[in-house]
Every structure is written in structure tokens, then in C-alpha cells.
A and B are shown apart, each in its own frame.
Chain A
Amino acid sequence: MSDFKEKIYAELQEVIDNDDIVITDEMPLIGDGSVLDSMKVVSLCIALEDVAADLGFEFDWTSNAAMSRSRSMFRSVGALVEEFTKQMKAQQ
């Protein structure tokens, strides 16, 4: 697992605040089956802004694409990691 993916998982674990829940790439962050309420998703995004800043780029989670329900980066943990990676590569 890459360093930044580990960081994303760590931030997510902290926001979930329940060690019994095992995080997987398929885990949804919004909608049915999500273990996060909407405010926790926001808290996660704010934490990821800081992770991105440490890695030297700006993580944008407020764009139309980010918030679109069908293609949202929050549809799963894997999608979030993918979007985070995409934004990082685009800015480096």
C-alpha cells in the first residue's frame, strides 16, 4: 500500500472512530452501506486537505465532479483514493 493511501486509510479510521470496522476499497462513503454520516464525510475531507498540503498539492473536494452522486469520489474508499491520486499527479 502506498504511503498516501495508508494516510487516507488512517484518517478514515480516525473519523470512523471504531476499530471493529475494517476499511476496504469497496466500502461506500456515502449512500446505502456507508459507515459515515455526511458530517463525518466533511471531516474526512478536511483531514485529507491537510494530508494533501503535506504532500504539496491542493485537494479539491467541493467541485461539481466531486459532489456528483453517480460519479462521486465518495462512492467508495477506492474511488476516493483514485481521485486523490489523480489530483496529486495533476498538480505535480
Chain B
Amino acid sequence: MIIVTGGSRGLGRSICERLLSKGQEVLALARSVEDVPYAALACDVSDYAQVKAVAKHLRQNNMKVSGVVNAAGIAAMNLAVTTPPDTTARVVQVNLLGTIYCCQVFAPLMMRQKGGCFINFSTIAVALGLKGEAVYAASKAGVEGFSRAFAREMADFNIRVNCIAPGPIDTALLRGITSDQIGKIVSQQILPWQFGPDAVSDVVELLLDDRSGSLSGQVFGIGGA
């Protein structure tokens, strides 16, 4: 089974749908799962106790986890000096701590079976240092740093850890950002055009596959930076 956090909408939903279409067993985690048409559990990843409760449920029901895709995330497009402290805290809580919690709590499930794969989400804003994304980029830079070290810790258990760093993918996360702004960001990518959710799902599929068995501790930029 593959766990996909943030699996009720946006990139997470797109990833769930792709994996399901390829015959994978998927469990989506999201704060609200009422309208999710596939297996899903309500879980706010920024709440450690809720993540632990999911792991307990999986363990008690002997559900084998072969991969975790940490796609839950929130964006905050604002200058650092005009970002309210509550927003800063929430961005770090969901993007960084939520990812760390899910890795910490779900890792033992995979360590027991000596195999598995974590895919965490960064952003191209980390590499590009984009104006107006300082707080968001900081939270994701933390994810990259955590993932590199965590990859080494997990290596003995045959568990791979990688990051995907998308550019501005066409999802609800971009609501409020003008096409001009998107164009400026995209123009800084190595492949200077906007990619859709399918491009991200392609890389997720690739990294979950055993043929990516040599890849760990890496950051894969969608569009390149």
C-alpha cells in the first residue's frame, strides 16, 4: 500500500488517481476525506498524535506500507516581512513538521519489512530563491535537508528517501498567482514552461518503482533549476 498525504485534492489527488490507475493500493490522508472516492483516512499531518493514530490503525490491521508520498502542503506567497507570524508557523507546521512526523511515524512500518520508499515534496523555489516565497521556501528547504539525512538513516533498512521539487504546477495551490507571475518563475527553470500534475505523477511513479533502487537522498526538480 502507498500512503499519500494531502491525497484529497491538488497534486496529492492527482498522484492517488495515477497510482490507482496503475493498480496500486492507495491510502489517502487528508484533513477532510468526505468527498474522496478512494480509500482515505482523516488526518492532519501537522498533528503528531493523529499521524500516530493512523500508524497504529495500519499496524493493528496488518496493513503493509511500501511507500509514503508526503504531498500535503500549503503555500504562502508573500514577502517575508509581510507574512503574519501565524501564517509562518502554519507553513512550517504543515510543510516541514508534517513531513517529518509522517517519516518518523511511518518509517518503522517499512523498517520491519526491510524495504520501502519515501517521496517528500520540496519546491523549485528553494533552488531559485524566489522573491515572495521566503517562508514557503524555508519550510521546503527544511524538507530537503531532513530528507538527505533521513535517506542515510534509512539506507540500512533498504528504504529510499527522495524529494520532488516542482515548479508552479497547475493546481489550486497557485490560486491568486497571476499568469505573469507564473511566467516569470517558469522562465527561470531549465525547461522554461509550465508542467501539469501528470509530470509530477510520472516522477512519483518512477521513484516508487524498484527500477529506481539506486536513487536515494536526491532532489528531482520538475522543469529543472
A residues lining the B interface (CB < 8 Å): 39, 42-43, 45-46, 49-50, 53, 58, 62
Contacts and interface: CB of A to CB of B under 8 A. Distances in A.
Interface in B99-119: 104-105, 108, 111-112
Nearest to B55: A62
Given A39-B153, A49-B59, A50-B112, 4 more contacts: A39-B156, A45-B108, A46-B112, A49-B112
A52 to B, nearest CB: 11
Contact of B105 (A39, A43, A62): A62
B111 A43 contact: yes
Contacts of B105: 62
Given A49-B59, A58-B56, A42 B111 contact: yes
Contacts of A42: 108, 111
B108 A46 contact: yes
Interface residues of B, number: 11
Interface in B136-176: 153, 156-157
A49 B59 CA distance: 10
Contacts of B157: 39
A63 to B, nearest CB: 10
Contacts of B52: 62
6 contacts: A39-B153, A39-B156, A46-B111, A49-B59, A50-B112, A62-B105
Nearest to B112: A46
A43 B154 CA distance: 12
